[in-house]
A and B are shown apart, each in its own frame.
Chain A
Amino acid sequence: MTEFVLTPGMIGFAATILKALFVIGMALQIVPGCIYFERKIAAYVQHRIGPNRVNFTIGTLRYLMPESMRDVIPEGLARVKLIPGSLQPLADAIKLAFKEEVIPEKADKLLYNLGPMLTFIPVGTALCFLPFGATLIVPDANLFGIEIQRTVIEMSVSNVVPGMLMLLAVSSLGVYGIACGGWGSGSKYPLMAAVRAAAQMVSYEVPLGIAFLIALASVGSLDGQEIVRNQAETWHGFGWLVFRQPLAALIFLVAMFAENNRLPFDLPEAEPELVGGYHTEYTGLKFAIFFLGEYCAMILMCGLFTTLFLGGWSLGPIEPVEVFGSTIEPLITAEGGILNVLLSVAVFTVKMLSVLLLQLWIRWTLPRFRYDQLMDLGWKVLTPLALANLAITAILISKFPNFTFFA
């Protein structure tokens, strides 16, 4: 029997496929949960109960058991609701999937059909460049006669070096989907919503991009992993850019809400003025894909905020640190085995979900901005502030290369 050799190329290829499946699976799994929590939080903030009719009970588990064992669960226990209303997103998805698809007569068929795709594809692509975990080292090994060669696997689907730049470039394409959908619907309200969305997203792209640039300049790299490592190496692991560049973080956060068309900047979906916004004329699965694209964009932006400003997957230092004479071993290291990677992915997910929670929380707190207020805030406040911050950062970097407070 000739020995079978797994080269780094082969392992890397398999790993890329697995990582892509993981990222897209994660994104698609977080969306229903996010919708459920959004509705629950809305309800609780408004002294209501929220969805509690479509339940996952202990009795539901019976259907996973062989028929002879179903009586094991007593009747009283079987009716206990595990999480009230937790299957509501599933019910909604089934409803959307089986709805009749109506295409308006005056719609531009090509643009109408392109709209949902163009919202989802850029977001899905941009998710590929998000570094979601520490680097995995597969050691030299010999398993059951298969020789495995040492491989370094970066925990982002695509590890091109200017990955962050790619991410920024691709994610801004989402506005095309909204514009196509709004124009192609052949209806006035979606068109107005699309114009609003395009103007808003283009306007807020400027402060977002500059805040992004401040973060990149402070770290001095376009590589996502390097950005995380830099944050973890500064200030004993807590040199997160949200502490080093608080103003940039705030600007990024505000621009992020506007980019995602979330309250308080959800003018493209202002129900009292525009019926349902740019997806008014969409039904069934196309509407669902618009929805999915929107929520995936939220997840992407939260992940990006986590990477840039909250230290990404790192938790504390990534190298042994001397504090008061004693050495503290790092919880998560930059490179390591599978446990280290799983822990880092968990940390990243928790941080990202916290930012997501903040987005939901803000949504049910703030009223909608007026359109002129929105434009004022974007062009007259955020953009000059971001530019000033960038200029100060640039000067500090060039004059004091070793000064870590700003850079």
Chain B
Amino acid sequence: MAGSHDHVEEALPPGKSFADRVYLPAVMRGLKLTVQKFFGTVTDKHATVQYPEVGIYDASEAERAIGHPNPRYRGEHILVKDEQGREKCVACLLCMAACPALCIHIEPEPTPPEWGDRERRPKVFEIDMLRCIYCGYCEEACPCDAIRLTPKFYTPTTSRTERVYDKERLLENNPAAQIPQRPAK
């Protein structure tokens, strides 16, 4: 199988010069790079955020850290309110239909007559956060911009039933309040 062997030889990456084959110049370059990174971390920047004590949205820490959290991160949902503080949702059930995980449950009801601008609103709006895969299809499907995914990721609870969010909780969901504050010692 001489032919296939030749092919393997051809596919070798560059580095057949003498300097590359004795490895030492490359090793020296590598050592120089790591020592630069080492002192770079000592004096300037590190990627780690001391998370429970320091929020990842704290401006001072975000400046110091190399990576910023992405504002388009898909975390927990929020039901958007309109100018009067009412939910924007018109209970069209499009998000429910779009959801691949079947985690949204909506029961519509007629709006009170004094609202005037729409006919339906959700009586029950529940999202099972344990089933949700955070794909963002509900956000895309919504014609009224009533449901959005926020960067909120800090979501521990002590029971499964708490993970089913009802309408009130979704309306009040606040990504800014997600960092747990430790009591001062």
Contact = CB atoms under 8 A, between A and B. Distances in A.
Interface in B29-66: 30-31, 33-35, 37-38, 40-42, 45-48, 50, 66
B135 interface: no
Contacts of B46: 44, 47-49
B35 A361 contact: yes
B101 interface: no
B41 A44 contact: yes
A364 interface: yes
Contacts of B130: none
B31 A44 contact: no
B144 interface: no
A239 to B, nearest CB: 24
B38 A44 contact: yes
A94 interface: no
B27 A365 contact: yes
Contacts, number: 40
Nearest to B30: A365
B48 A44 contact: no
Contacts of B35: 361
A43 B37 CA distance: 10
A210 to B, nearest CB: 19
A17 interface: no
Interface string A48-76: 11000000000000000000000000000
Interface in A8-46: 41, 43-46
A232 B48 CA distance: 47
A365 B24 CA distance: 13
Contacts of A46: 37
A384 B169 CA distance: 74
A199 interface: no
B34 A364 contact: yes
Given A44-B37, A44-B41, A365 B31 contact: yes
Given A49-B46, A366-B27, A361 B41 contact: no
Contact of A45 (B34, B47, B50): B34
B64 to A, nearest CB: 11
Nearest to B47: A47
A362 interface: yes
Contact of B34 (A43, A48, A49, A361): A361
Interface in A188-211: none
A127 B34 CA distance: 31
B37 A45 contact: yes
Nearest to A79: B185
Contacts of B66: 47
Nearest to B28: A365
Contact of B33 (A44, A362, A365): A365
Contacts of A366: 27, 30
A366 B31 CA distance: 8
Nearest to B67: A47
A49 B38 CA distance: 11
A361 B31 CA distance: 7
A263 to B, nearest CB: 12
A48 B47 CA distance: 6
A47 B37 CA distance: 7
B30 A45 contact: no
Contacts of A44: 37-38, 41-42, 46
Interface of B: 27, 30-31, 33-35, 37-38, 40-42, 45-48, 50, 66
Interface of A: 41, 43-49, 361-362, 364-366
Closest CB pairs A-B (n = 10): A44-B41, A365-B30, A49-B48, A365-B34, A47-B47, A44-B38, A45-B34, A48-B48, A47-B46, A45-B37
23 contacts: A44-B41, A44-B42, A45-B34, A45-B37, A45-B41, A46-B37, A47-B37, A47-B41, A47-B46, A47-B47, A48-B48, A49-B46, A49-B48, A361-B31, A361-B34, A361-B35, A362-B31, A364-B34, A365-B27, A365-B30, A365-B31, A365-B33, A366-B27
Given A44-B38, A49-B50, A365-B27, 19 more contacts: A43-B41, A44-B42, A44-B46, A45-B34, A45-B37, A45-B41, A47-B40, A47-B45, A47-B46, A47-B47, A47-B48, A48-B47, A48-B48, A49-B48, A361-B31, A361-B35, A362-B27, A362-B31, A365-B31
